[in-house]
Amino acid sequence: MTACADLVLLPQWVVPVEPAGTLADHAVVVRDGRILDVLPAAAAQARYPAAQTLHLPGHALIPGLVNLHGHAAMSLLRGFADDLPLMTWLDSRVWPAEKRHVSEAFVRDGTLLAAAEMLSGGVTTCNDMYFFPGAAGEAFLQAGVRATLGMIAMEFPSAYASDADDYLAKGLAVRDELKDEPLLSFTFAPHAPYTVADDTFTRIGTLAEQLGLPIHTHIHETADEIQQSLSRHGMRPLERLARLGLLGPNFIGVHAVHVNKAEIETLAAHGCHVAHCSSSNLKLASGLAPVVELARAGVNVGLGTDGAASNNRLDLISEMRMTALLAKGASGDAAALPAATALKMATLDAARALNLDDKIGSIVPGKRADLAAVDLRGLVCQPVFDPVSHLVYVAGREHVTHVWVDGKLKLNDRRLVDLDTDDLTARASYWRAKLTHRDPP
């Protein structure tokens, strides 16, 4: 029996993530934006006449990478404030610049720039937290990137909102406007315990439960954050959130660098998720997150890049390598975090944290066709004993040649399909000039 397909992909290896391992000389069949079948290449060509068949010799086909935490618009602040600890970085450089320049136009342009960078590196889904989420949503839709938009909340005013109630009202209005877009989903995104009051957290907990949405917040990023919480609240931030009822299977804690054994057990007991941002943690000297201990306790850990202002790359392939190497070095166990685990953290585990693992994160029939092809033919990738090992320890984002989101081609032979790179470069130059301009005294 034959059935029509839109696309048959014929890589040398399919890396489905579930199950772990690789499938040599298999095909992935796509129809109506979904993965229709995964089967031996010869059988696929006989069974599925397709509008297009793409041969990818020497390539590994992987699920599209899922960036579990980022601030996409901050790509316009890449390199703006380097070599500073977190609070100095925020207080003296980032927050003043944001107060002066952030607008819908800033967010739209910065998000487009980030989307282009992510697509070029095989990232098909981004969990975003920033001001003007409606403008970010428009940009993600223009780029064709799957995105989870954070409805950000904090107590102090910004160009976006005046207070916590205003942030939430505007965020919910954006959700009402865009909730039927198939590429978009939403979280509540209270910025951090040091910028959000108890009453706001409590209200967010209630709304999240009513709407069935995740809560996405920074937590235990620095030792200073914990000391401030002890001084102001008499308890550590995670304990405070637990008492306010925020912890549960819909909670995504970003960073979780400074968590002790009891707090790891608390996260595990509540079914929480952690977004691990290894490069940002290192660059801001925040510390080394206990990723191995979190995973062994049963906490679901996904990978994120954080924003380009603190990384400075939106590059999940490099995050996989960094995460695996740091886990080995910190634990003294070379097998602590294998390559297959790192890949799963950047795909299925991150999708699970966003409640999207039924749609994306692995190459399984019925899921959406979010896919990336990685070329392992080059000299620097030879010889290939294990494609999964190469994806984590050898390949870079420059080896990504093709990307599909919802079955639509977004990167074709290393060239973006829907975004004009010259236009994006011009937009970035415009904002660089504004950010470096100083008004006369």
Q: How many other C-beta atoms are found inside a 10 Å radius of the C-beta of residue 254?
A: 27
The answer to whether the CB of 60 falls within 8 A of the CB of 373 is yes
Query: 185-234, pLDDT tens digit by residue?
Result: 999 999 999 999 999 999 999 999 999 999 999 999 999 999 999 999 99
Kindly list the averaged pLDDT for each block of 10 residues, start to end, along the chain of length 441: 89 97 97 98 94 97 98 95 82 86 96 98 98 98 98 96 98 98 98 97 98 98 96 98 98 98 98 98 94 98 96 97 97 96 98 98 98 98 98 98 98 98 97 78 36
Crossing angle of the two packed helices 164-178 and 133-143, in degrees rounded to 10:
30
**Beta partners for 150?**
129, 187
Domains of the chain and any CATH numbers? 5-63+369-406 (2.30.40.10), 65-353 (3.20.20.140)
The answer to whether the CB of 337 falls within 8 A of the CB of 324 is yes
Query: 305-342, pLDDT tens digit by residue?
Result: 999 999 999 999 999 999 999 999 999 999 999 999 99
The H or E element that residue 65 is part of is strand 65-70
Question: What phi, psi does 220 have (nearest 5°)?
Answer: 50, 45
